[in-house]
Structure 1
Amino acid sequence: MMSFEGKTAWITGASSGIGAALAREWAARGARIILSGRDEARLTQVADGIDGETLILPFDVRDEAAMKAATKQAVDWHGGVDIFVANAGISQRSAAVDTDMAVYREIIDIDLTAQIAATQALLPHLVARQSGTLLFISSIAGKVGVPMRTAYCAAKFGLIGYADALRAELSQQGVSVHVVCPGSVATDVSRNALTADGSKRGRSDKVIDNGIAPDEAAKRIVDAVEANQREIIVAEGVEEAMGELRRTPDQLLDQVAGMVAAGYMDKMKADS
C-alpha cells in the first residue's frame, strides 16, 4: 500500500467540490498540498480549512504561460511534486443541435487540452525522478455517452484515452497513472455547466444535489490510489452499473503495458 506521508500533492480545480475534498483528504493522510484554480480567495478558504502545509498557485488552466510558471514553483516548493491531480473542468447542459461551436471549443480546451498541457509540463520532472502519481478526473460521462453533454463527453472520453496511453508509456518509468470516473457528486458542476450559447446554467440537478458527498468521494478516490487501482469508479446505482459495464479490464491494461515492456516504443522510435 502506498503511503502519502510527506508527499506533495498538487491539485487543479481545488477551490471547491472534488478538488477541495481531495486536498483535505490527502492533507489528513500527511501530504503537503498545492492548491490551484482561478479564484485565489476561494483557494485561500480551502487552505484555511486544512491542517497542514499548503501552497496556493492561482492561474487559469488555459493560460499556458501561467501554468508553466506555476509548474516551476510547484516543483521548487519542496524539491518535487509526487502527486498531480488534473481536476479542473466544466460541464454542459445543452442538446448538440442547439449548441454553438464555441461551447465545444471552450469545454474541450478546459477539460481536455489544458489538462494535457499541464501534465506535459510536469512530465519531464516525474520521468527524471522515476516516480510519481498522475490522477485524471474524468467522469462516468467519459465512459458512456450521456445526452445533453456531447462536448463534455467528448472531452472526458479523450482524457481517458490520453491517460490510458500515457499509463502504458510510463509503465517502465515508475510513474503511476489513475483515471477517476465519478457519477453524481454533490458539487456545483451542474450549476456551473455551460448552456447552448455558452452562458452558465445557474441551477443544479436533483440527481447532483442528492449525489455522493465530496468528502466521501475523495476518501474513495484516495483509498483506490493507495491500493494502486488504475481505473476508479466513484458512483452509485445505475451510474455505477454503467461505469462498471464500460470498465476497461485490468487484463487489457496489463497487455498494453506488456507491449511497452517488450520494447514496442523502442521499435517504433527506431522505425521513425
Structure 2
Amino acid sequence: MLKDKVVLITGASSGIGLLTAQMLSEKGAVPVLAARSESKLAEASGRIAGKHGIRVLDVTSEEEVRQTVEETIRDFGGIDILLNNAGYGKFEAATDMPSEEFGRMMDVNYMGTVRCTKAVLPHMLERRSGLIVNVASMAGKIGTAKSTAYTATKHAVLGFSNALRQELRGTGVAVSTVNPGPIDTPFFDIADPSGGYVSSVKWLMMKPEHVARKMVRLMETGKEELNLPLKAAAAMRLYQLFPRLSDRLTYRMMNKK
C-alpha cells in the first residue's frame, strides 16, 4: 500500500523521524528526509537502503519550506504523504522561561507544521489525494507542570489538525495526528538535560521503534488519530471527561519534571 509513495518527513535526521523513514523504505516507499543538519542528514542517508532523498530544511523559514516542497515534487513526481515531525521541547516553569523561548518553540513546533502543510496542500488538492500526518503529543491533551510552552505548542498542533481535517473533507486529502507519550529519543537531551524526568517516567517511556512502527501503520490505514501508549490513551479520555478531578487525582504522578 505504501510502495512507491513519496513521503516528506521533517525532523528526520534522528529519532522517530529517521526510524520511520527506514521502515517506510523497507516497505517500498520513497522517504524524503528533511532536517536542519546537513551532516546528520548525510549520516542518516547511509542508513536507508532504498530510493530516498535528503533536504536541508529549517521549518521556521518560509522560503526554505517552499523550496523543499517544490524540489521534492520536481525530483520525485509528487508528495503523497507529509509527516510533520520536526519539533523540540524544554521543561521549565512559566515564571522562569523567557518569553522568547515560548515564541521559538511555537515557531518550530506549531508554525513549522503550518508552513509545511500550507506549502504541500495546493499540490495535494490539485491531485485530490494525499495524507498529512502531524506529530502532536500526549502533552497536547493533558497539561503538566513545567511544560507550559511545549504543551501550548502541541495544543495548537491538535487544534490546527482537527479544524483542517474538517475543511478538507471530500477533497481526497486526509489529516491524521499522532499523540505519543514519552519516547526514548534525543528529544530529552534538550527537554530534560538533568535526566530527572526521564528517570521518573521510565515506566511509561516507549521505544522509538514501537512508535515509528505505529506511525507507518497509521499511514497505511489513514486512521485519524493515534494515541500512544494505550494506557495513556485511556488517561487522556478520562481527563477530557473530568479535567478538574483528573488534575487533583494525577497531579503527583504526572508532574515529575
Structure 1 unaligned residues grouped into runs of 5+? 194-200, 249-272
Match of 1:47 among 45, 48, 52: 45
Q: Report sequence identity in percent.
A: 31
Cα pair distance change 1:246/1:26, threshold 3 Å: farther
Whole-Å separation in 1 of the counterparts to 2:146 and 2:229: 19
159 and 246 in structure 1: CA distance in 2 versus 1, 3 angstrom threshold: farther
Q: Does 1:206 align with 2:199?
A: yes
Q: Distance in 1 between matches of 2:62 and 2:31?
A: 22
Measured at CA, do residues 151 and 29 of structure 1 come closer, stay the same or move farther in structure 2, by a change above 3 Å? same
Q: Give the corresponding residue for 1:219.
A: 213
> Could you list the per-position Cα deviations for residues 173-206 of structure 1 after superposition, in whole angstroms to 9, with x for gaps in the alignment?
101110000001101112122xxxxxxx534322
Task: Tell me the C-alpha RMSD between the 2 structures.
Answer: 1.7
1:6-56 superposed Cα distances (whole Å, 9 cap, x missing partner): 100110000111111111111111100100001111112222111211111
Q: CA deviation at 1:241?
A: 2.9
SS at match of 2:178: strand
SS at match of 1:30: coil
CA contact (8 A) 1:185 1:209 kept: no
Q: Using the alignment, how far apart are the partners of 1:236 and 1:104 within structure 2?
A: 30
Distance 2:214 2:187 in 1: 19
1:29 pairs, out of 7, 23, 27, with: 27
Q: How far apart, CA to CA, are the structure 2 residues paired with 1:245 and 1:137?
A: 22
Matched, 1:234 2:228: yes
1:129 partnered with 2:123:
no
Q: State whether residues 133 and 175 of structure 1, in contact with CA within 8 Å, keep that contact through their aligned partners in structure 2.
A: yes
Equivalent of residue 12 in structure 1, options 7, 10, 13: 10
Helix, strand or coil for the counterpart of 1:96?
coil
Indicate conservation of the 8 Å contact 2:131/2:222, yes or no: no
Q: 1:163 to 1:144 in 2, by over 3 A?
A: same
Structure-2 separation of matches of 1:188 and 1:240: 23
Consecutive unaligned residues in structure 2, runs of 5 or more: 242-257
- The residue number in structure 2 matching 1:164 is 162
- Could you say if the C-alpha distance between residues 66 and 53 of structure 1 is closer, same or farther in structure 2, counting changes exceeding 3 Å? same
User: Against the structure 1 CA distance between its residues 4 and 148, is the aligned structure 2 distance closer, same or farther, given a 3 Å change threshold?
Assistant: same
Could you list the structure 1 runs, at least 4 aligned residues long, displaced by more than 4 angstroms after superposition.
207-210
- Is the contact between residue 131 and residue 174 of structure 2 (CA under 8 Å) also seen in structure 1? yes
What letter matches 2:54 in structure 1?
A: I
Q: 2:85 aligns with which of 82, 87, 102?
A: 87
* Structure 2 CA distance for aligned equivalents of residues 65 and 187 of structure 1: 29
Amino acid at match of 2:10: T
TM-score between both structures, scaled by the size of structure 1: 0.83
Say if 2:140 and 2:179, in contact at 8 Å, map to a contact too: yes
